[in-house]
Amino acid sequence: MYNSGILDYYLMWITNVEMYMDKLHFIVNPVAGGTSAIDKFGAVKGMLDDMRFPYTYEFTQCKGHGRELARAAAEQGEKYIIAVGGDGTVNEVASGLVGTDTVMGILPFGTGNDMVKVLGIPTEPREALNVILADRPRAMDAGYVNDKFFVNVSGFGFDVDVLLKHEKYKKRFKGMLPYLLGIVDALTHLRTLHLTLHDGERVWKKDALIVSVGNGAYIGGGMKATPFADPFDGLFEVSVVSSISRAKFLRLLPSFIKGEHTGLPEVEYFRTKELYVECPEECLINYDGELGSGMPVRYKIIPGAVKMLVQQDMTAANAEEK
Q: What is the pLDDT of residues 192-228, one digit of tens each?
A: 999 999 999 999 999 999 999 999 999 877 889 999 9
Question: What is the percent of the chain with per-residue pLDDT over 70, rounded to a whole number?
Answer: 90
In a domain, 156, yes or no: yes
Structure confidence by residue, pLDDT tens digits, 4-24: 455 555 555 555 544 454 799
DSSP E strand stretches across 99-234:
103-108, 137-145, 148-150, 153-157, 193-198, 203-214, 218-219, 223-224
Query: What angle in degrees, to the nearest 10, is found between the helix axes of 125-134 and 4-15?
Result: 10
Looking at the predicted structure, is the pLDDT value of residue 315 above 70? no
In a domain, 100, yes or no: yes
Confidence band for 298, pLDDT divided at 50, 70 and 90: very high
The verdict on 53 and 198 lying in the same domain is no
Residue 278 is among the residues annotated as catalytic for this protein: no
The verdict on 267 and 296 lying in the same domain is yes
Looking at the predicted structure, is the pLDDT value of residue 233 above 70? yes
In a domain, 192, yes or no: yes
Looking at the predicted structure, is the pLDDT value of residue 99 above 80? yes
Model pLDDT, residue 150: 97
In a domain, 15, yes or no: yes
Q: Which phi-psi region, left, alpha or beta, contains residue 316 (left: φ > 0; alpha: ψ -120 to 50)?
A: alpha
Q: Three-state DSSP class for 283?
A: coil
Per the structure, the complete domain to which residue 186 belongs is given by 148-302
- Share the mean pLDDT of the chain: 89
Looking at the predicted structure, is the pLDDT value of residue 304 above 70? yes
In a domain, 317, yes or no: no
In a domain, 234, yes or no: yes
In a domain, 141, yes or no: no
Question: What is the percent of the chain with per-residue pLDDT over 90, rounded to a whole number?
Answer: 70
Structure confidence by residue, pLDDT tens digits, 52-84: 999 999 999 999 999 999 999 999 999 999 999
Q: Which of 18, 78, 290, 321 is catalytic?
A: 290
CATH of the domain at 249: 2.60.200.40
The total of structural domains in the chain comes to 2
Model pLDDT, residue 174: 77
Q: What are phi and psi of 223, to 5 degrees?
A: -75, 130
Model pLDDT, residue 84: 98
Q: Three-state DSSP class for 304?
A: strand
Model pLDDT, residue 13: 55
Model pLDDT, residue 320: 41
Interval 277-300 mean pLDDT: 90
Q: What are phi and psi of 72, to 5 degrees?
A: -65, -40
Domain boundary among 78, 109, 135: 135
Looking at the predicted structure, is the pLDDT value of residue 2 above 50? no
Interval 40-50 mean pLDDT: 95
Model pLDDT, residue 3: 47
Model pLDDT, residue 322: 37
The verdict on 156 and 130 lying in the same domain is no
The verdict on 286 and 168 lying in the same domain is yes
Confidence band for 278, pLDDT divided at 50, 70 and 90: very high
Looking at the predicted structure, is the pLDDT value of residue 319 above 70? no
CA distance 42 to 75: 27
Higher per-residue confidence, 79 vs 171: 79
CA distance 139 to 97: 12
Model pLDDT, residue 205: 98
Nearby residues of 21 by Cβ (< 8 Å), 6 or more positions away: none
Cα(first)–Cα(last) distance of the chain, in Å? 43
Interval 172-190 mean pLDDT: 85
Is residue 13 classed exposed, middle or buried when 0-12, 13-18 and 19+ CB atoms within 10 A define those classes?
Answer: middle
Other CB atoms within a 10 A radius of the CB of residue 100 amount to 18
Confidence band for 266, pLDDT divided at 50, 70 and 90: very high
- Of 42, 56, 49, 54, the residue nearest 2 (C-alpha): 49
CA distance 75 to 73: 5
The verdict on 130 and 152 lying in the same domain is no
